[in-house]
Amino acid sequence: MPSSMGAPDPQHDPTTADRHERERLDTLHAAHTLLLSPTEEQLVGAHLGAVHASGRRSAVLDVGTGTGTWAFSTARRHPFADVLGVDINWAAYGRQDAPHGNVEFHTVDVTKPLPWAGGTFDLIHVKAMLMDIPHYAQLVERLAVVLRPGGLMILVESSMSFECIDGTPSAVVTSWCASLRDALATKSSDIDLPRSLDRTLAATGVFTSQFYFQEVGCPVGAYMPSASQALLRAGRLHASVIGPTLCRLISSRLESGPRRRSLERLSDACARDLQSPSSRYMQRLFAVYAFKRPSSDRTGPRHRHSF
Ligand SMILES: C[S@@+](CC[C@H](N)C(=O)[O-])C[C@H]1O[C@@H](n2cnc3c(N)ncnc32)[C@H](O)[C@@H]1O
């Protein structure tokens, strides 16, 4: 791995806002892990296991690592993987146990030319980056180059809109979703991209025809008494951070101006509607897992396996 790049400052003293952002990201991560398990663990475990069984260590990249939680937990679970987490902002990062000494963090702006040779990584994980990165599809294309032939790419993104499962959304929620769509359309962010993550990967032309695809409704609140424990817990976690999550959606991409002010005015009322005990909202979460073709392989028809 290049060693000249910056890394999180161990002396960094987090502000209250940093701590809140770390808690928000870790809460969402816990909710999403409840919903995506065990598919991700099984695919990652089988893939890295095969690399390690071939007698070499694996290289894993977590793009926009944020808190570092995914990178740390992957490093703990897979002692023979060398995990690299990259980000441009370490405010939300929190050091965690790394008993195998196999995780590093570097400052890399992934909108710039990537500092790795083609085919460097066995596994690349990208989660919740859509709002932070303009031209997401171009990022995926460039990451596909640094993925090793046979390597696994994982993309995980949430839909930007909220759906009411037993009727029409309130006027405020409808207005929030419409305003966010309009605002982002001016920012090269495709609000509908999460539901076509597999097509984004396929468009690179370098992945095998077999994609694993998950689409899960993440409830906002524990409103389904007969649901699984995982759904109830995920819903409770999701609802607990919905207000700051709406604020982060606005602040990550929109500079001050009328569009941002209009969304800021809506966000409190929207969070209240979403969290209300009588509400039945959910946000879709999408994950796609795809393997890069060995270089000799030719593109064939695409099969999408849903869970
Ligand atoms: C919404 S957070 C998601 C963090 C983490 N992936 C997760 O799911 O908890 C997006 C992260 O992307 C980082 N980021 C934004 N632009 C970036 C860039 N150009 N290069 C690298 N990281 C970036 C942000 O600093 C932030 O930590």
Atom of ligand 1 nearest to the CA of 32: 8
115-129, 160-174, 249-263: the lowest-pLDDT one? 249-263
CA of 131 relative to ligand 1 center, distance in Å: 9
59: number of CA atoms within 13 Å, CB side? 13
Our answer on whether the CB atom of 71 is closer than 6 Å to any ligand 1 atom is no
CA of 132 relative to ligand 1 center, distance in Å: 6
Mean pLDDT over the full length of the chain: 91
The residue whose CA is least distant from atom 3 of ligand 1 is 128
Q: Stretch 75-97: mean pLDDT, rounded?
A: 96
CA of 303 relative to ligand 1 center, distance in Å: 30
Identify the band that residue 297 occupies on the pLDDT scale cut at 50, 70 and 90. low
Whether residue 80 is predicted with pLDDT greater than 70 in this model: the reply is: yes
Q: How many other CB atoms are found less than 10 A from the CB of residue 138?
A: 13
The residue whose CA is least distant from atom 9 of ligand 1 is 25
150 neighbors 292 (Cβ within 8 angstroms) = yes
124 neighbors 267 (Cβ within 8 angstroms) = no
Domains and CATH numbers, the chain: 16-160+189-228+284-294+301-306 (3.40.50.150)
Q: How many other CB atoms are found less than 10 A from the CB of residue 6?
A: 11
CA of 226 relative to ligand 1 center, distance in Å: 35
Whether residue 3 is predicted with pLDDT greater than 70 in this model: the reply is: no
Our answer on whether the CB atom of 127 is closer than 6 Å to any ligand 1 atom is yes
Q: How many other CB atoms are found less than 10 A from the CB of residue 186?
A: 10
Our answer on whether the CB atom of 40 is closer than 6 Å to any ligand 1 atom is no
Whether residue 249 is predicted with pLDDT greater than 80 in this model: the reply is: yes
